[in-house]
Amino acid sequence: MSLAATYAKNVAGANLDRNTSSLFDLSRKPQATGSSYVTLSCEPSHYGSLHTTRKSRTNLENSYRMEPTKKFVSDKIQPLIQTVLEEKLSHETYNAEKCAELSKSISQEIKLRIKALHYDRFKIVCTVSIGEKKNQDIMMGSRCVWDTDKDNYASGSYANASLFSIAVVYGLYYE
């Protein structure tokens, strides 16, 4: 069976046999030991809302400014990330479906608070990962191509009895 036919079969709601499975299928129930969920969600947290508006694009004149007026300083951003993680996760327990939505809402909240600091001409990229705490280790890494003079990042983490969370915010200057 071709890859496209297998995909069409899975999308159509057919039962998955034992040899084919998906890491992104949340309908499966976890096994007694050694199970984990990996979720990937590219749609925004307001997906499915009735009103979707597009901003009209405004044509601006070139400013010829090549340097930021205010640098993205990680020492100012890190406490903000930590505060949001503690506010949102202090009373939560791990649930795969709930944590998928929670990571999107936390990411949006962090971005809104950073945008309120008025980092003009910076693109703010925020990733939030939430996982279940089951006596395991995790190692995360990222790579970016950027200008070390203008671009920067900040990160924060939070853990309670049942979950852990890692948030990373990248401030990328665009001219």
Q: Over pLDDT 90: what percentage of the chain?
A: 47
- 18 in any annotated domain: no
Q: Is the pLDDT of residue 60 over 70?
A: yes
The residue segments making up the domain with residue 137 are: 74-173
- pLDDT-derived band at 14 (thresholds 50, 70, 90) equals very low
- Using DSSP's 3-state secondary structure scheme, residue 14 falls into coil
- Residue 97 one-letter amino acid: E
- Geometric angle at alpha carbon 6, from 3 and 7, rounded to 5°: 85
Q: Which two tokens stand for residue 132?
A: 């279940």
User: What pLDDT, on a 0 to 100 scale, did the predictor assign at position 136?
Assistant: 85
- HSE-CB at 5 with a 13 A cutoff on CA atoms is 2
pLDDT at 15 over 50: no
142 lies in some domain:
yes
The mean pLDDT value for 88-97 works out to: 93
Q: Is residue 116 part of a domain?
A: yes
How many CB atoms within 10 Å of residue 108?
A: 15
In angstroms, rounded to a whole number, what is the distance separating the alpha carbons of residues 65 and 13? 53
Maximum CA pair distance of the chain?
61
> DSSP label at 58?
P
Of 21, 26, 19, 20, residue with least CA distance to 40: 26
Tell whether 87 is covered by a domain: yes
Q: Has residue 46 been placed in a domain? A: no
pLDDT at residue 122, rounded to an integer = 93
CATH code for the domain in which residue 166 is found: 3.30.1140.40
> pLDDT tens, 134-170?
888 888 888 888 899 999 999 999 999 999 999 999 9
In a domain, 119, yes or no: yes
Residue 64 counted as domain residue? no
The answer to whether residue 9 scores a pLDDT higher than 60 is no
Long-range contacts of 20-29 (CB under 8 A, 24+ apart): 26/96, 26/97, 26/100
Q: Is residue 137 in some structural domain?
A: yes
| 97 vs 39, more confident | 97
| Structural domain total, the chain | 1
- Take residue 105 and report the two structure tokens written for it: 């809402």
